[in-house]
Amino acid sequence: MRVTLPGGWWDDGGRLHRAAELGVLTGRDEEALTGVAAAATPRAVTEVLARCLHRLGDLQPVPPAVVRELLVGDREWLLLQLRRATFGDLVRGDLMCPWPSCGKRVTLEFSAGDVPVRTAPDPRPWYELPLPGSSVVRFRLPTGGDAEELGPLAVRDPGSAATLLLARCIGRIGEVADPGPEVVADLPADDRWRIESEMERLAPAVDREVDTPCPECGRTFTVTFDIHQYVFGELRTNVSTLYREVHQLASHYHWSEAEIMGMPRDRRETYLDVLAGELERLNDGA
């Protein structure tokens, strides 16, 4: 799958790379990712993408260190494309209507290809933003490496994690280079809001909000589509059927385990559908 990143990766030579090639997960990948799928952490995202991101600009293969340098929005978008390639476009889930007078079960369905994605309006490795008082802040956008480092803290103490993230992304405030968490924490609330708002405006992003109508009460509510939890939840759930698929295909086609585990999910499902149809035909003729 050839894709174009909504943000892009800057190499050491100052070149922006947005063209990429993304492969699908094979059975062997699904088996290897069983452990990380249970966590759905930024490190798990790195491991999945490092297996499937075959090319990025002129870089081939793409090492995990570069996958960590990708912008957070690019990583989410790549994860969504990988999900489309591996499991298809249809996203389906069951939830409860949040209206107290209803509370009925609702089935949510939409196409992953229709999820809105915001492209970075002005890709740069570093940005500058004037602040009141004539000082200028120099900053970059958050990456997967930032998310990996701060992930555990974000669960325990979101406020401290947000301050550390901003400190990691700010290269200079006025004449102060690499200001550090203490300086960032002392920024006026308005200045900090300006920086964070500008970072959000400039970063590529996948829209996580999905408007869902309730067929029971007719009212619409908004659901947050957690890409990490959904994709890794599918990996965790579907890998339980992997060995049964291998057994069934090996029993009838006499392929080796290595051959079957090297297939992507859609190829395995195609052969299983053919096999089911052939078995049904034979049973009808018996």
Asked if residue 6 and residue 82 are part of one domain, the reply reads yes
Residue 43: inside a domain, yes or no?
yes
Q: Each residue of 103-154: pLDDT tens digit?
A: 888 888 888 888 899 999 999 999 999 998 768 999 999 999 999 999 888 8
Give the three-class secondary structure for 41.
coil
Q: Each residue of 249-267: pLDDT tens digit?
A: 999 999 999 999 999 888 8
Q: Which residues contact 170 (CB under 8 A, 6 or more apart)?
A: 137, 138, 139, 179, 184, 195
Q: Each residue of 69-88: pLDDT tens digit?
A: 999 999 999 999 988 888 88
pLDDT of 286 reads 57
Q: Which residues contact 77 (CB under 8 A, 6 or more apart)?
A: 5, 6, 117, 204, 206
Asked if residue 14 and residue 84 are part of one domain, the reply reads yes
Asked if residue 185 and residue 154 are part of one domain, the reply reads yes
Report pTM.
Answer: 0.86
- Segments in 117-262 forming alpha helices (H): 144-156, 158-169, 180-185, 189-202, 227-238, 242-253, 257-261
Instruction: Please state, as a whole number, how many other Cβ atoms lie within 10 Å of the Cβ of residue 16.
Output: 15
Q: How many domains does the chain have?
A: 2
Residue 110: inside a domain, yes or no?
no
Host domain of residue 131: 127-203
Residue 165: inside a domain, yes or no?
yes
Residue 38: inside a domain, yes or no?
yes
Structure-model confidence comparison of residues 91 and 119, the more confident one: 119
Comparing CA positions, the residue from 18, 29, 22, 16 lying closest to residue 2 is 22
For 98, phi then psi, to 5°, come to -80, -10
